[in-house]
Amino acid sequence: MSNWLIFGLVTSYICIAYVLIKWGNIRCIGETPMRTPVFMAILFTSGWEVGVIMLPMIDFLRYEDLINYPEYGFTNPLAMEFASMGFAIWSGYFITCFYFCVIEPKVGFFKIPLVNFINTIVIVVTCSFTIYLFLSNLPIYLPELGDGKNLNAIFYLIVFLVISISVYSSSSIRYVKILSMTSTILFFLLILAMWIASFTVEQTDFTEIFNSINLMSNYFVNLNNFLIPINLYHEFYLFWWYSWYIMIGQFLARFVSGIKTYQLFLMIMIIPSIPLALWFSVIFIYYQNGINTVGIYNYSMVFVGTLFVINSLDSLIRLYTDNLNFTPKRLGKSKYIILNILSLSGLTLMYNYDFLEIEWIGAIVIGLVVSCLIYIFATKRNIVSNIKSSPAENNLDFDKVNAID
């Protein structure tokens, strides 16, 4: 599937360049525009996975092992981790966000019943992968609750509670802003607290954060090397991110509030990458100095990671239930909650027992993207070519849009 992934990535990069050249200065306005700070918080937390918190300490060890993985020799573990989760990775969110905000209302490709069904299934099973990833890493970060390796009933109970809270919060749109703002603030507090602890409690050198940031800069020097898969593990990451592209773009497009296309591109590429770079730089200090994070550090990371899971699931559950018209209003709140809890719990177990692979989902998303382009070229080329703005019904006065809370 490597060639299929490379084809999908190159296609996305070409589309991004085309959109910026043709529509770079038009104003993007979604169906439910939010003020820019709120949109930024939604962007932060909807696009972040629990892996942002839990995987770096595991990945650093792999990226430093040049005996078994000599392909990482051109860079350093910190730059490689950033390549797996930051900056260029987010370009896919830009292109799909722009598409659903500006083009899809004119094209209607994702309203085609079969396409809508496939896209919805992708969202559901990707939600389940998020939960599975959280579940599989709990024994490592909460060894006090087990043997540090294997899952037990306590971890399954924690995940069941997270699913239940996420489903409940998805039943009302008012929770989006609360969860997004809370998750963003707590993530910055986690970064700050662990950085301060690194040189006050753990007695590392105050300047190590600057050394870490300098190592991170190697990512930009070698950016061209990260745009396509380096090996199977990097390929796994790229497929994983690709599996999110359509659904996150579809969700974010609702809340865009009048920024220009090039500004949207810069916002999505740069703004989430700043806290990611800071977080990876701080946690790398702990890795490099062999600092044991068992205890308060792990509890803090798991807490923030749990909020990320709840926030992501809240967004995606609302998205796929809207697509299927399985809304609380239609089903009733009790049926809505029970149906989603059972379906997500069952699919999570399928990942746990290797019945599903996230690479398959990423491959399907590439197929949807390619099919959409073919559909536009074959039937909607003139319509798309003549697009000059966001849909008229969304084109509110810019000051009014930014006044929406």
Q: What is the pLDDT of residues 311-365, one digit of tens each?
A: 878 878 877 888 777 778 788 888 888 888 888 888 787 776 666 678 888 999 9
What's residue 387's pLDDT? Answer: 87
What's residue 403's pLDDT? Answer: 47
- How far apart, in whole angstroms, are the C-alpha atoms of residue 306 and residue 162? 7
- How many C-alpha atoms does 244 have within 13 Å on its Cβ side? 27
β-partners of residue 27 are 260
What's residue 394's pLDDT? Answer: 61
Out of 76-85, 301-310, 364-373, 393-402, pick the least confident. 393-402
Conformational region of residue 357, where left means phi above 0, alpha means psi within -120 to 50, and beta covers everything else: beta
Provide mean pLDDT across the span 190-204.
93
Phi, psi torsion values for 260, nearest 5 degrees:
-75, 160
User: Between these two residues, 369 and 39, which has the higher pLDDT value?
Assistant: 369
β-partners of residue 29 are 257
Q: Which residues, 6+ apart, have CB-to-CB distance to 34 below 8 Å?
A: 42, 177, 255, 257, 404, 405
Provide mean pLDDT across the span 135-159.
85
Cβ count within 10 A of residue 254:
22
What's residue 112's pLDDT? Answer: 93
**Alpha helices in 218-327, H assignment, sequence order:** 218-221, 223-226, 232-252, 261-270, 273-288, 296-324
Q: Is residue 78 classed exposed, middle or buried when 0-12, 13-18 and 19+ CB atoms within 10 A define those classes?
A: buried
Residue with token string 């910190």: 78
Q: Is residue 210 classed exposed, middle or buried when 0-12, 13-18 and 19+ CB atoms within 10 A define those classes?
A: exposed
